[in-house]
Structure 1
Amino acid sequence: MTDWRAVGYGFVVTLLVGAVGLAVPGLGQLTAGLLGGFVAGYVAGGGLLGGFWHGLLAGSLGGLIVGVLLWGAIALVGLAGGPVGGAAGALAGFSVFAVVVLIALVMAAESAVAGAIGAVLND
């Protein structure tokens, strides 16, 4: 069963470290995904598989939310150009959303591995 509290903690850690990673060179988004996944796995426990699952959810959740927000923002900007601009903005926004989702899924893999390590260290 999914421990959504653990996923939420990992998600918040990913967002906070990711925000700091934008300002501090060398920290980056990779560290944010690793730390967020580790926290989710550690809080959830449950061995390798449980930690892997919770780290995966925590790592991918942030990317999906950011993708949806970017899609909406680009579509709204396109609406300033009328109906044709709105359609172009929606298409451009969907393209950005698709790329962000792909990146989120790739980055979720590192969070999943870190979550498995965190869960093993908790047990």
Structure 2
Amino acid sequence: MTNWRAVVIGFLVELVLGLIGFAVPVLGHAAAGLLGGFVAGYLAGGGLGRGAWHGLLAGALGGILLGIVVLLGGTVIGGIAAGPVGLLGGLGLGVIAILVALLTAIPSAITGALGGAVA
């Protein structure tokens, strides 16, 4: 069973550290994802698999939310600006944004597994 409290806290850690990470653009954002995943895995506990699952969810949550915003905004704006072709373009852009968010959540899952093992 998913511990949503651990996922949300891990996501909030990533969000706060990501905002602070603008001072050190690449390193700050990478550290935010890694630490957020670790926190989610640690809070969830239960070993490698459980920690990895919670780290993955925490890492993907922000990206999926952003992808949904891009999906909705792209389809609406694309549909208004270019008709059906723009609508399909916005839809494709949103789907790609969600897939990239899931791929970038993999490091959070790895550190989540470490956090789950430590807990």
Note whether the superposition's TM-score is higher than 0.5: yes
Aligned with 2:105: secondary structure? helix
Distance in 1 separating the partners of 2:36 and 2:83 = 36
Structure 2 residue corresponding to 1:107, chosen from 100, 104, 107: 104
Taking the aligned partners of 2:101 and 2:42, their CA distance within structure 1 comes to 21
> Deviations for 1:70-100, whole angstroms, at most 9, x for unmatched residues?
111222323443xxx2423322222222222
RMSD across aligned positions (CA): 1.8
For the residues of structure 1 that align with 2:107 and 2:61, how far apart are their CA atoms? Answer: 13
Residue segments in structure 2 that go unaligned for 5+ positions in a row? none
Query: 2:17 matched to 1:40?
Result: no
Aligned residues: 119
Q: What CA distance in whole angstroms lies between the structure 2 residues aligned with 1:121 and 1:102?
A: 29
Q: In structure 2, what is the equivalent of residue 59 of structure 1?
A: 59
Mapped to 2, the partners of 1:55 and 1:92 lie a distance apart of 31
Distance (Å, rounded) in 2 between the aligned partners of 1:56 and 1:2: 11
Structure 1 unmatched ranges of 5 or more:
none
Letter in 1 for 2:118: L
Shift, 1:19, TM fit = 2.6
**Residue 12 of structure 1, CA deviation:** 1.4
Equivalent residues of 2:68, 2:98 under 8 A apart: no
Alpha carbons 1:71, 1:90 under 8 Å: kept: no
Alpha-carbon shift at residue 46 of structure 1 (Å): 0.8
Map 1:2-21 to 2 at 5 A. Answer: 2-21=2-21
Aligned amino acid, residue 100 of structure 1: A
Instruction: Check whether the contact 1:75–1:86 (CA below 8 A) recurs between aligned residues.
Output: no
1:27 alignment partner, SS class: helix
CA 1:23–1:95 in structure 2 vs 1: closer, same or farther (change >3 Å)? farther
